[in-house]
Structures are given as C-alpha cells and as structure tokens.
C-alpha cells in the first residue's frame, strides 16, 4: 500500500485534505504545493493519480471493507495479514485446545492450562 511521506513534519501536512492539493479551476493537481510538501518519488506518484471528472468531498475510506467502513472484524483480519498469519490459524488453534481439553487430566492441571 502506498503511503506518502511528507518532506517535513508539521501540523500543516496533517491538516491537509486531498482537495487542498487540487486546482478545481483547471482540474489539475497543484504541482507547486505537492512538490513542496512531499518527497520527489511520492510527489510523482500522487500527481500520476487521475482526478475525478466531477469534484467530490473528501471522505475516509477503509480499504479492507467493500463498503469502505472500518469494523473491528476487518481490522482484526488486516492485523493478522500484516503479521503474516493465515486466516485458518484460529481453526488450528481451536482444534489444538479441543484436543487438550478432551483429555482426562486432574482438575488442578485443567485449571492451570486454562490460565496459561
């Protein structure tokens, strides 16, 4: 995923919105602003993005959900993916715990496994 790195650390960059980087009269990127705020490689990537034909308001979008909305569930799956784990790890872990709890142990041992 591409995440532009600002040239400088300041509140000026954090308070910007995409529409601050667009010249709506000419329907082009504001090259001077983008070049001044971002590293050259990132500036080129930003300016290569096509602009919509009709202007839209900025909005937050969560790419991990097809509706663009964040949920704990989608965040969980993204976190697992970033950690390099597959989605079936939970199933394997559940099978393991089921096998452990299916064994006959003394009550004290069962209790200590539960806290582990």
- pLDDT, residue 29, reads 95
pLDDT digits (tens, 9 = 90+) for 70-107: 888 888 888 888 877 655 556 777 777 677 777 766 55
SS3 sequence of the chain: CCCCCECCCCHHHHCCCHHHHEECCCCEECHHHHHHHECHHHHHHHHHCCCCCCCCCCCCCCCCCCCCCCCHHHHHHHHHHHCCCCCCHHHHHHHHHHHHHHCCCCHHHHHHHHHC
- CB-CB neighbours of 35 under 10 Å: 16
Domain boundaries, the chain: 1-59, 72-115
- Residue 10 pLDDT > 70: no
87 or 58, which is more confident: 58
């Amino acid at each position: 995923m591409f995440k532009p790195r600002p040239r400088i650390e300041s509140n000026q960059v954090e308070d910007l919105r995409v529409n601050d980087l667009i010249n709506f009269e000419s329907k082009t990127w504001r090259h001077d602003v983008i070049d001044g705020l971002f590293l050259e490689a990132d500036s080129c990537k930003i300016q290569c993005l096509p602009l919509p034909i009709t202007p839209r308001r900025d909005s937050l979008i969560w790419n991990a959900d097809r509706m663009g909305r964040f949920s704990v569930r989608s965040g969980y799956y993204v976190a697992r993916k970033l950690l390099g784990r597959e989605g079936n790890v939970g199933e394997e872990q559940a099978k393991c715990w089921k096998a452990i709890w299916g064994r006959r142990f003394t009550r004290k041992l069962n209790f200590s496994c539960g806290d582990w």
